[in-house]
Each structure stands twice: as C-alpha cells, then as structure tokens.
Structure 1
Amino acid sequence: MPVPPAPAPSPGSAVQDGPPRIGLLGIMQPLYDDMIPGITEHQARYASRVAERLSGIAEWTVAPPVRGREDAERAVREFEEAGLDGVLVVMLTYGPSLRVTRALSGSRLPLALANIQPEAAVSASWDMDDMTYNQGIHGAQDTANALVRAQVPFEVVTGDWESPEFGERVGRWARAARAVCALRRLRVGVFGYPMNGMGDARVDETSLLRVVGPEVHVIAPGALHRTMAGLPGEAVRDLMSWEDSVFEVDGRLSEEEREDHARMQLGIELLLEESGCGAYSTHFDAIGEDGRFTRLPMAAASTLMAKGYGFAGEGDVLAASIVYAGHRLAGDGHFTEMYAMDFPGDSILMSHMGEGNWRLAREDEPVRLIKRPLGIGGLADPPTLLFRYRPGPATLASLVALGGDRFRLVVAEGEVLDGAELPALEMPYGSFRPDSGVQGCMDAWLRAGGTHHMVMNTGRRAQDWQVLCRLTGIEYVPV
C-alpha cells in the first residue's frame, strides 16, 4: 500500500530509504614494500573486489590502504564526517594493532572485523608472496585483542568473502550498524506525560541517552492544539482523499470526525519534523485530560508507523525507541502488546488500544478505517485502522531498563497464525505462537523482565537483534 510522501527528514526523524552506508578500512603495513614491490596497490585492488562483491547489501566507501596510525585516524575521521553507518575492518596483510587502536576505539561508528583473506584455500603453488597476501588472520587476532582490552564492542565475521553466507552475515551486521547509528541520533517526542503507575516503561533518560542513544523531548499538548488549528484546509482534504484511495472507509464516519483525525495526524507529524523526532509516544490521559481535544489520535499512530516513525502508547519511550530500531533493522516495526494467552492454541493474542503498523496487515483483506467507540480517555469516538496481522514468521523484541547503565533486549521468534476472525475486536490484532510455546516463552519472558510493550517485525529476526546488542552492549536474552 502506498503512503503519503513525507517531508524531507531531518537527522533522526522518520526512516530514510536506501541501503546501509559502510566504510571499508583495509589495514596493512610498509614492512613488506621492499620484499614485494607493488603490494600496496595489489591489496588495494583486493579491498575493492571485496566491496564490489558486497555491493548488493550496502553502499561502500573504500579508504586507501591504512599503513600507519595517521592513515587510520584520517580514514575513520572521514568516515564519520561522511555520516556512514559503520566500519568494516579488513586485514590486507598483517597490521600491528597499536597503529589502529586509537582510531577504532575512539570512533562512535559500529565496528565489524572481517576475518577473511584473498584466497579461500591454501594451495601447493603458493610462494612467499602468496603467504604474505593471505596472512590477515593474525592481524585480525592482534586487532581483536586490542579492541577487547579497550572494551570496544564489535562484530566478527569469518569466512570466504566470495560466499553467500559471508555476504548474508555482513548484511546482517550492516543493518544492525545502521539501526545503532539511528538510535544514537534519535529524539523521542513525548506528548504530555507518561502513564501514572506503569513501571516497566520508566527509564533513567540520562542512561538511555548514554548507552542506547535516544534523547527524550517533551512536547506540550498545547503545541499540538495550536498546530492543528493552523493547518491549511487543503492539506487536510488531501490526507482524507488519500485515505479514501487506500483504506476501506466506514460510511458512518462523519466529515467532522475524519477532519479532526486528519488534523491530529498532520499536526503530530509536523511537530515531530520541526523538533527532529523520529519516534513519539502519546498517553490517552495526557490528551483526554487536557480539555482541548475531541478524540485520541489512533489512526494517526498507525499511518505514522507505516511511514517509518517509531511509536508507543502511554508515554513509553523504551518501546517507541525499539519500534524505531525495528524499522531500521528489519523494516516495518509494529507496536503491540500481549493481550491474552490462548492455551489450547498455544498462542498469544497480540493487540493494543487501536494503534498498529498497517504495513503488517494481511494482503487478502482490506485495511478498514472505522468508526469505533472507545471509553478510554473519555473522548469522542476515534477513527481507527482495523486489520489482522499477516500470517507467517515474526519476531517480538522488548527493551528493558534494568537500572543504571544496564539494558536488556528480550526476543522471541515464532509465527503469526492464520486464525479465525474476532468480529467484536475493533483494533489491529493477530495470534502469535512462540517457537518455545506459550508456557516456555512466557516463563522465560517474565523471568527476564520483558516489558508489556514491544516491537513486532515480520520474519525471523533474532540474529539481527543479537548483532545489534553486541554492538551496543545491551544484554541479549532469547526466550
């Protein structure tokens, strides 16, 4: 389904298209120049071949071969200035670690060490030149040791650089690196205040900023009210017309209801763009008790998620951040929660009050924009997008604040079932069957402190989340 075009995104705002942007840092040293004239140029061509082989998974910037500390620091600085998402380190020959330790340990870019060599097999035809070209393994050991001692997180990918498996693993790291950088640039807008008494969403904002990256930005409800009032009528009509072309619109919805909803959606997005926020959270009481609003922005959350914004209800900054990371890591992050367990079906009913990324909707049923009564918030009926989740493999992830600088990611893989409709349920929903079964999954989820808000992505994404955790120092707990 198409989504309306977004304004040009500011750093950290809605998801930007395109592959991860990665720098390739090839390391060697001048020791072999006299022994093998032209070795630097020879190995530079090898680095270029590696980047060309991986061109389908990332956009590559290949630095000239690094032969000393100044080369390394200049190359990494240029990667950072170019706004790249990560650095893939490749040993072109043995390179002493102390010449690159400062550059790598001081960089904010996620790192991966590609433990590869030009030739996949040792051959009887090799001479000393071939031995030198293919001796990167002990440079990788030296450099990895330095990074471990410096407590710098990094990923390792060992393998034949021409194999599909190597490309798949580098692609997984590159996507995780992009998500990590996006989190470090992220601002999460909170409209009003968090839900009183809800403890698993509370977090020390300083620790969140320092360890994970997101900055919390409070937006007053009054700013939303003023922005809504100032929107041009043409923009409101354009959004309503677009909804008519994409959704099955409930005929019971009045023009007034739809216009008010459209103004809320456009107002929220405009405020997010102006404040550089790529994710946000609203709490129904913060909207309902304000006194100036007619209804809650349910459908707005669904379409803004479909456009790439992170979202969570009830002022939950942790969940909004991980939904945003889900967009960047795996595509189409979806905010949800576990509503009820179905023991006979060994599954869990997933839903929330009315928000959900409709890009995860079944393809054989229309997404409906409905008139929907809702007692929560004490306001008028909020237009809501109703759909069932698309059946197939799926992954849940919950970001947990453990206190201080300790964070944990609880991850469950499983299947969204092709189950029966629930006609009385007027909000996005689906049944998730964990691979470990309801009992095993929930026992482990609760022991790990998994929160009640989470992100869902289609596909089996646990390994992607695991790499992200290795790059950030977040504890990874599969359940």
Structure 2
Amino acid sequence: MTHEGDAMPVVPRKPRVGLLPMYISLYDKTNPSARGGFTGFIRDVAERLEAEDIGVVQSGICCVDAEFRSAAALFEKESVDAVVTLHLAYSPSEEALPSLASTSLPLLMLDTTMDYSYGRDVAPARLMYNHGIHGVQDLASLLRRHGRHYEIVAGHLEHSTVIRRAAGIIRAFVAADEFMNSRVLRVGERFAGMGDFHVPADVLCSAFGITVVQAGVQELSPHLAAVAESAVRDEMKENAALFDVQLPEDTHRASVLAGMALRSFISKHHANALSVNFLAATEVFPMPFLEVSKGMARGVGYAGEGDVLTAALVGAFIRAYGEATFTEIFCPDWQGNALFLSHMGEINPSVAAAKPMLLQKNFPYTDAPDPAYIACAVRAGPATLANLAPCPGDTFRLIASRVDVLDDTEREDLKQSVRAWVEPPVPVADFLETYSFLGGTHHSALVIGEHLESLAAFARRAGMDFRVIE
C-alpha cells in the first residue's frame, strides 16, 4: 500500500506456475476432434491465474509418460514455483506419476470442469468435457500412496473462489521456498534469557536450510565510513517524501547513516532477513529502527532481540504476500475484547493506515544516541496473525488466527507509537489461553488479509504442524 506523496514499494514476488493439462490418448483414437474442444477452457484457466498476478508457463496437453516428462523438464528449465495440474478428462495416473513424483516442484491439483451445471437435463455429449474429476481422484490416490505432497482446490472457475484459492496456495509455495532458503543476519547476540524463539543455528539449518550469519556491531565500521554524504542527503529527502518528519535533523542524519551502513552490510552477506538486539546499539551505531522498517518494505524480514526464526518467517511472508510486518502481542483489552500489538520502533510502513510520522525515540538502554523511528497504525480490516513456535524434538508449529484490525486511536500521545488493536475470533481470554497452550512465542508476524488456507499449505510444505485459533 502507498500513501499520497510517497514511493514505498510493496514487494511480493510474482509467482510463476507450470500449467499441465492432462488427457488420455484413447480419446485421440476414438474421438479425435474432442481435444480441440478444450482449447478455450485451458486458455480461460491461464487467463484467470494471470488475473490473480500468477505467471503461467503452459505445456502442451499431456497423455503419456514421454509427454509428461517433457512438460516437467520445461517447467524445471523455466524455474516455475509450482506445477498446476488440470484434468481435461480422465487421465491414467501411472502415465504422470514418474514425472510428478521425481520433480521437486510443489504440486497443486486444480479440480474443475468446464460446465457449471451437470443436472438431470444435461446433453449426453457434455460428459466428454466434464468428467476430469475421477482422473483427479486416480492421481491423488496414487500420489498419496507414494508419499508425494500435493495440495488441491476444487470448484467451478466462474462460480466459486477456486482460482483465488489456488493463487493463495501458490503464494504459500513461494513463502515456503523463501523461508526454507532464508539467510538471516543477526547483529549482536540474542537477548539474554529470552528463550522462547531461540533455536540453535544448526537446528534451523537441518530443519529448514536456514543460514544464520552472526555479526558484531564493530563489523559495520567500514560500512559506516564508506557511506557518502550525498547519499545520506538523498535518503533524507526520500524520507521527507515518505514520512511526516518531526525530529531533529542531526538525529535523522545519524539514523540514516547507520541505516545505510546496515543496508550495505546486509547486501555484503546476501541476507534476506535481519535481527538486531537493541542492546548492541552504540554511540556510533544508533538502533536502526528506521532502516529495519524500510527494509521490511523492500522485502527484508525482521524480528527484534536476535530472533532469527521470526525474522525468516516475516521475510518469507513479505516476499510472498506483500503486506506483512513483525509484531508482538503486548496488552489485552479485556473490556473491548481486543489485543494491542506493538513493538519498540519497528513496523513495515507498507501496512500503515496513513502516512507514518518520523520521530525521535527516547533510548535509555545503552549509550547510543536517541534514534529515529516511524510511528503509525496498521490499517483497519481483516488480517492474519501468525506465530512460529519451536516444539519438542526440534519440530515446529505454526499458529494462526484471523483477526480484525480495528480503527486507530484518537489519542495524540498514543499516535507516537507503533500500534494496532486487533479483535480475535474468540474472546480474548480464550485466545490467550489457547495461544499459550499451543506454545506460541511472544514474537509474531501480522499479514494483511485473510490467509488461513494459504498458511496451512505453507506449513505443510515446510513440514510444520499447523493450528488455527478460531
């Protein structure tokens, strides 16, 4: 989301899928003209996926093993994010199984047919164009037997949300791929004694392929020295367009300098997520609240206090869904049946309800100068709160709940904070009991929009347990 006068990007990666139309060669022998009747249907599916901002790479219609192998090779060459199967008619599963079982690409079965109505007055000739569902059943059964993971959505193209749901699951595949290829930079040690989110780096690597790069603040010194004064001035001008600037110029400048050095350091380490322990801030490196917030808008994941696990999750969600941010459940509003979400000074400005203010933060925790930070509310509407909790035996659980972000406060003093009031789908007491019974940590991600089905697919793809509070 952007606001008048700003240029803050929203950065979801556009997914691309391989569309795999499936058919049976027997029909080419007994009814050769029937194949041509599916051309418009295939085109319709592709166009509807494109309308959901999903790129489509099409194979030809596949009937036999060699054709499926050729299609799989094409999709792998094109580096698509998933394969979407489309049963035009019955298609023998053993023809497709070798290719679909051997590729590492995620698999989504689109279970749909051409006609909306197939009632008691249907013309018999329409059977040819509407019986693909038992081909889906054949293939799904065989995939399940062979332990090949797949997702499935069913419904009519025009009279259901099946394509929108398919797009959500495709984005879940993107999120899982982004998460499982995260490279997280941690500046400073994790906050001592804060154990809920802590997972050893070797466990994150073995469980998800996540790489953790540990660094000290002193390693940023050459990057601080390399930042040009002209670049600092340009960044300050950009901030003046993006934010309502209400802080001293020297504070702004020092924070921009630290932020640009951190940006260079992130680039050097090829990181796509970041965690900074605020206790690592120094006289020459103020806590980079401003940069980590702007970084989230560019797709760099973030979580506070050395929490690399949640940082990787937030980054994956931003790059897959666009509008997501790091957050924390701070206070219960028992009377109003709401939860107050906040953090010290970090929020993705892409989720802001209005143009954020750029302010100076009182920072008594170290000898670092007071840093710049942005203050804003999350815009009202549906959202999804998600938490990744470590569990026994180096397993993980994704806890999610649909919430409604409420309208912002009218109090001017509260408007100087990072904030959101959200209403959960159950009474606050029940939510909090269930959340902690499931082992939820105190660091979370908030994703704008309703994504429960998509997050369930994300969890399955990443090998996590998934629980919904509803």
TM-score, normalised to structure 2's length? 0.90
Tell whether the 8 Å contact from 2:283 to 2:369 is kept in structure 1 after alignment: no
Tell me the residue number matched to 2:339. Answer: 348
Q: Distance in 2 between matches of 1:152 and 1:215?
A: 26
Q: What is the SS of the residue equivalent to 1:327? A: helix
1:267 maps to 261
Offset, 1:332: 1.6
Partner of 1:393: 382
Change beyond 3 A, Cα 1:102–1:66 = same
Kindly provide the amino acid, as one letter, of the partner of residue 238 in structure 1.
D
Q: Are the counterparts in 1 of residues 400 and 468 from structure 2 also a CA contact under 8 Å?
A: yes
Question: Match for residue 365 of structure 2?
Answer: 376
Give the whole-Å Cα distance in 1 for the aligned partners of 2:270 and 2:309.
18
Match of 2:151 among 147, 155, 158: 155
- Pair 1:413-2:402 in alignment: yes
Q: 2:184 aligns with which of 174, 182, 188?
A: 188
SS in 2 for 1:435: coil
Q: Distance in 1 between matches of 2:190 and 2:6?
A: 29
Matched, 1:322 2:313: yes
- Alpha-carbon distance in 1 for matches of 2:295, 2:6: 9
2:14 aligned partner: 19
Taking a change above 3 Å as real, the CA distance of residues 385 and 116 of structure 1, as seen in their structure-2 partners, is same
Segment of structure 1 superposing worse, 323-332 or 353-362: 323-332
Letter in 1 for 2:142: A
Query: What corresponds to 2:24 in structure 1?
Result: 29
Q: Is the 8 A contact 1:3 1:306 kept in 2?
A: no
Q: Distance in 1 between matches of 2:330 and 2:122?
A: 63
Question: What is aligned with 2:214?
Answer: 218
Alignment match, 2:276: 282
Q: The residue matched to 2:50 in structure 1 has which SS?
A: coil
CA displacement at 1:213 relative to structure 2:
4.9
The code of the aligned residue for 1:356 comes to I
In 2: Cα distance, 1:38 partner to 1:212 partner: 48
* 1:125 counterpart = 2:123: yes
Q: Which moved more, 1:312-321 or 1:179-188?
A: 179-188
Alignment partners' CA distance in 2, 1:457 and 1:52: 27
CA contact (8 A) 1:204 1:403 kept: no
2:440 matched to which residue of 1? 450
Task: Note the C-alpha offset of 1:63.
Answer: 0.8
Match of 2:450 among 460, 464, 471: 460
> Residue 230 of structure 1: CA displacement?
0.6
Counterpart mapping for 1:160-309 below 5 A: 160-209=156-205, 211-251=207-247, 253-255=248-250, 257-285=251-279, 287-288=280-281, 293-309=284-300
Q: Which amino acid aligns with 1:408?
A: R
1:139 maps to 135
Residue 275 of structure 1 and its aligned partner are, at CA, apart by 2.8
Q: Which of residues 45, 50, 55 in structure 1 aligns to 2:50? A: 55
Which of 345, 350, 363 pairs up with 1:359? 350
* Equivalent pair of 1:23/1:86 in contact (CA under 8 Å): yes
Kindly provide the CA deviation profile for residues 239-289 of structure 1, in whole angstroms up to 9, marking residues without a partner as x: 0111122222224x242x32221122112222223332221111123x23x
Identity %: 28
Deviates more, 1:331-340 or 1:217-226: 217-226
Matched positions, count: 462
* Offset, 1:227: 1.0
Which residue does 1:11 correspond to in 2?
none
Q: State whether structure 2 residue 330 is matched by structure 1 residue 339.
A: yes
SS for the counterpart of 1:108 is coil
Residues of 2 paired with 1:417 and 1:370: CA distance?
24
Q: Distance in 2 between matches of 1:86 and 1:313?
A: 32
Counterpart CA distance in 2 for 1:205 and 1:146 is 37
Q: Give the drift of 1:17.
A: 5.1
Larger mean CA deviation between 335-344 and 198-207 belongs to 198-207
Moved more, 310-319 or 198-207: 198-207
Matched-pair contact (CA < 8 Å) for 2:353–2:380: yes
Amino acid at match of 2:371: P
Flag the 1:331–1:140 CA change in 2: closer, same or farther, 3 A.
same
Question: Aligned equivalents of 2:382 and 2:226: distance in 1?
Answer: 44
Distance 2:73 2:173 in 1: 17
Gaps of 5+ in 1: 7-14
Contact 1:330 1:461 in 2 (8 A): no
